[in-house]
Amino acid sequence: MHHTWHRSRPGLALTASLTLLAGLSVPALAVPTPGTDVLYTLDADFDRGTLQDVNHDSPNDDQLQLNRSTVFFPYVNVAASARGTMVRIDVNTGQIVGEWASAPAGRGKNPSRTTVDKFGSTWLSNRDENEGGRGSVTRIAVIQGGTRVNSDGSPNPAGDYLKGPFAYNRCVDRDQDGLIATSRGLGDVRPWTNAGGADNNGGVTTAADECVINYTRVTGALTRTVAVDAENRLWTGGNDLDHELLDADGQPTGTQFNLGCGGYGGLVDKAGTLWSARNNGTLRYDPAAATGACLDGTHGDYGLGMDPVTGEIWHTNVNGNRVAKMAPDGTVLGAFSHGSQNAQGVAVDGDGNVWVAHSLLGPATTVGHLRTDGTYVGNVTLPGGVGPTGVAIDSNGKVWVTNINTNNAQRIDPDAGPIGGGGHPVGAVDLTVDLGEGAGPYNYSDMTGSVLGEITAPQGTWSVVQDGGQAGQTWGTVTWNTEAQGSVPAGTSITVEARTSDTEAGLAGESFTPVGNGVTFAKSGRYIEVRATLTANAAGDSPVLSDLRIKTSERTGVFSCQATALTLAGIVSTRANPQDVPCVDDHETLANVQLNAGILTVKATALDASTDQTPDDLTGTPPSTSDSAVSQARIEQTRITSGLLTIEIGVIQSNASVTCVPGPGGLVPQFSGSSSIAGLKINGLNVTVGSAPLTIPLLIGSLKLNATTTTGSSVVQQAVVLDTLLTDVVIGEAKANVEAKPGYPGGSPCRV
């Protein structure tokens, strides 16, 4: 699709114009990006991920902003009703890419409607399920790319499995074997045994096909209505007129109502209003107000479609050569002939064309074509097609029709065929796809996702998979919008989520969880998938994602530490962690020692030095407020002699530490040093010291006590330093530092 934008304040506002261009398919495909610290900010960077409803071209490059309308997936998803399966067709080639059972063995099937969610997965309803007064719906996910392989991962074009890297995947690797077991094409329907009735009440535990991701029992029995809203939730309705909302994960929300109408084909319009056709009138329900009404047959009684430009609703009458156009509030704006006495499905494209399936009644062999102003253009002949029931617009702007009597689907080129009313081409079939014997496709529904894509999804996503290179890789931060062009206007939002797995296929089986901007989190797995969701405000302003960086929890620095009981003229006695960098747990003791250097003699007893780091191993753990490096030195008794000078010192204790604490922009190192001296005698005279710094001049030099030296990256605590002209004595030294890793100037173990 091509999208026209205009600027407004405070953000980027989206116009309502859109033009469908031939040949467009799913957003750019991507494979995992290798790296433990990757910045995505240029067009080429964003193309490493999957863009859904967002672009990096208009109005500006090197940033992501919302499209006005969804570039929906290049598939038409056909309910092979009579076979109890769903068939997915590539709209560009006509290739059938897979076929799936619509329900577990022993459950009611006969799927009649399909609809596509915002991530390309297809919901279908089973109109034969009514056990216990409940119906059922099933969701079939999308996977693109990968290589066909056998169960051991060896290549085989006819293999039962797909092996990554994948261009796009919503299927779930339930057995965690790193492969996706899924259908190869028409007729390859994988078993769904339902052994022991395991899935009777919902779930897909016995489904062999890992692209079958949901089976949910719903309150609407003999289910027909399936319609996805802007939050990717599913509205369902049954022949018993019960309607219910499922959340984005496909689970009931406790929202159930019955107004005595509806329950057939349905859609959700631009305002989020649910429309559900047929029984006792058409349901029009406003979820926000939790109120609705039953519209009479003058509004229509069968197929529902929506104008992607105006939001007007089109509604067929099954009899009487009549299709009605309604305002979003339900007011009838007109009723028009469409070229046949009967009608079922109806779809409206972005170029002002209305397409009406002329029904299995008769049976028909044409699709009606009129303009949104009511002008009748003509009937499209369906060579080899009988009983057209459903129509939908694909991602190229072409029209697909399903023919129940001839078990096929046909593609109509709206720009082909003879010139009809109003000077417009009538359209002509340019492709027929055989669905196989006994398909019986019904399908008057949104089989392509155009309704959700064009109208009801004022948000888009960009997702990217990053390969950390090793199993169990730990991930630490996602940071975004550090550049000036990034913006989140009032009422808009950018939400970022992440999930991890040791296999690429396993990602889809994990749940996304929100992450904060630059806030450290703890997730592990070789692969991380990050999804950014951009949401517009009511005025259509788009947020802008200028950049996004994904990093492991590998810290930008390390702790260093060292403790030394005694040093004389470079001679060291009792030192913990002599290498200093990095800090490690160490403990050294010595009962007594005597060192001599020149005129100085030092005797000490019970020397003790220790270092400790928390956690012991910084790799694989993100920084936290419990992280620290601590060093301690302790000496029980010390005696220093030099000629006529005798210094006697009691218990000496020295401590130094660095701890990660909250600071500007995250955790920062905090340094602390202290020491104490229990007793001091100089030539027999007591000197009170304690823990305060003190310098005592002596004939041979100076005695410095309790000295703390702190810089931006270190602390050194020295309990006793005897500084002479010839040599020095240091007793009780403790050090704690942070050291930056190569390539991370100013790095710290408190940061990733």
Indicate the SS3 state at residue 450.
helix
The Cα 587–Cα 574 span in angstroms is 9
Whether residue 336 is contained in a domain is answered as yes
DSSP per residue over 97-116, as a string? EEEEESS-TTS---EEEEEE
* Domain boundary, last residue among 526, 552, 578: 552
Q: What is the largest CA-CA distance in the chain?
A: 125
Whether residue 7 is contained in a domain is answered as no
What pLDDT, on the 0 to 100 scale, is given for residue 17?
29
Q: Are residues 480 and 570 in the same domain?
A: no
Give the tokens for residue 263: 């329950």
What pLDDT, on the 0 to 100 scale, is given for residue 30?
62
Structural domain count of the chain: 3
Whether residue 8 is contained in a domain is answered as no
CA-CA distances (angstroms) from residue 719 to 199, 566, 628, 677? 72, 11, 21, 7
Whether residue 28 is contained in a domain is answered as no
Where are any strands of DSSP class E within 445-537?
Answer: 459-467, 474-480, 493-501, 513-514, 523-524, 527-535
Q: Are residues 619 and 664 in the same domain?
A: yes
Q: Are residues 439 and 466 in the same domain?
A: no
Q: Are residues 210 and 347 in the same domain?
A: yes
Whether residue 561 is contained in a domain is answered as yes
DSSP 207: B
What pLDDT, on the 0 to 100 scale, is given for residue 15?
31
* Domain boundary, last residue among 429, 454, 479: 454
**Taking a C-beta distance cutoff of 8 angstroms, is the pair 212, 537 a contact?**
no
Q: Are residues 325 and 265 in the same domain?
A: yes
Q: Are residues 577 and 522 in the same domain?
A: no
Q: Are residues 463 and 580 in the same domain?
A: no
Q: Are residues 120 and 249 in the same domain?
A: yes
Mean pLDDT in order along the chain per 10 residues (752 residues): 28 33 38 93 94 86 80 87 98 97 98 91 97 98 93 96 87 94 98 98 98 98 95 94 97 96 93 93 96 96 94 96 97 98 96 97 97 98 98 94 98 98 98 98 88 61 94 92 95 94 92 92 93 81 94 91 96 97 97 93 98 91 91 98 94 98 90 96 93 93 96 97 92 98 91 85
Domain with residue 94: its CATH number is 2.120.10.30
Whether residue 22 is contained in a domain is answered as no
The Cα 266–Cα 363 span in angstroms is 24
Domain with residue 40: its CATH number is 2.60.120
What pLDDT, on the 0 to 100 scale, is given for residue 166?
83
What pLDDT, on the 0 to 100 scale, is given for residue 658?
98
Q: Kindly give the pairing relationship between strand 666-677 and strand 680-682.
A: unpaired
**Taking a C-beta distance cutoff of 8 angstroms, is the pair 278, 319 a contact?**
no
Whether residue 748 is contained in a domain is answered as no
**Taking a C-beta distance cutoff of 8 angstroms, is the pair 310, 371 a contact?**
no
Give the tokens for residue 405: 């009597």
DSSP 741: P
Q: Are residues 515 and 472 in the same domain?
A: yes
Whether residue 17 is contained in a domain is answered as no
CB atoms within 10 A of CB 58: 14
Q: Are residues 425 and 524 in the same domain?
A: no
Round to the nearest angstrom and report the end-to-end CA distance of the chain.
40
* Domain boundary, last residue among 387, 419, 454: 454
Q: Are residues 349 and 481 in the same domain?
A: no
Domain range spanning residue 54? Answer: 33-69+458-552
Q: Are residues 156 and 101 in the same domain?
A: yes
The Cα 136–Cα 134 span in angstroms is 7
